[in-house]
Chains A and B, each alone.
Chain A
């Protein structure tokens, strides 16, 4: 052993101590739950919410001749179906990790704020042509706004707890972005296609009844 090893030993001591602290911190981090109850409830709610968008999108091809509208509906359906699959797998992951996933059964009509009621869905399904386009676009704008509100609430919850839950944080941001852009597009079409201002979305339910 040469004298030059002495500072090396001192350095190694520092390294070891820092490493020990880090390991302790790692251990604490590793024990932090992957998701909390609010995260999981967010996933449960958003799955139900997205499923209605998929159902709505399936109505489009048979009720309009507009190619761009049909393409858009196809795009919305597939994007939301992929997000549903992603959210379901996160719930499965939580269960695999021994995290209690809360039960959630949709009930009520509509099942939650930001969704359309069964009467509204029936009215859209019964319409065609310009009337269908207006009801669908207004309904989907309202529906998307519901998703944005839910995602914003989830983001506030994350901020308050200082967490970036695994994959949910990214999903939330995607929902906020995609659905805002899609609302802009749908509102633009309502104007361009001469459909805006004819009726409010709330009128749909009244007529359906």
Chain B
């Protein structure tokens, strides 16, 4: 029944000859927040999409705790979430539609979730008119409502201002407390230190390190990791 431990063995994604994922080996436990860090083009987004089942790997395998991949147990929030041309409450309930939840039950669940993510007073507003941070919270709530076992987040706060970042991180922590496993990517090293339990360092389509967050930042094992941390640091300090 459990999806974990999720084991990626030698996962390759080579769409046009170019190896975006070049032999990823990774084992994920069913608890906590794992943050994937890495330079641009390392394949972080592609890795998430592969785990989500949106991309088929060219090679390698994914082992879901010995069982089959259960799509309804894995959810994903994208960097720029899309909003339907309808209300906030209709948008947040969207994930329940393919799960066969009736309109009335959808509405009830949606109202509760809107409270959780702090959008209850905007329930009937046009979802497309929300700010970036509000839309990101809505997207999070939308997937959270489907109670996934594994939640994937692709750069959830990359375009948000600090207060919006904080609001989103608060929700992410709540989801973690509920027992959902979270796998996320970010450019924000500060966010990584705030949220991560463990860090996966991805460079050149491969996992270079997978260690606890404390260990990664105090004693990065690889050269690339060291350079990465140092390269990013000034940007992080300015934050």
Partners in one complex: no
**Interfacial residues, chain A to chain B (CB-CB below 8 A):** none
**Interfacial residues, chain B to chain A (CB-CB below 8 A):** none
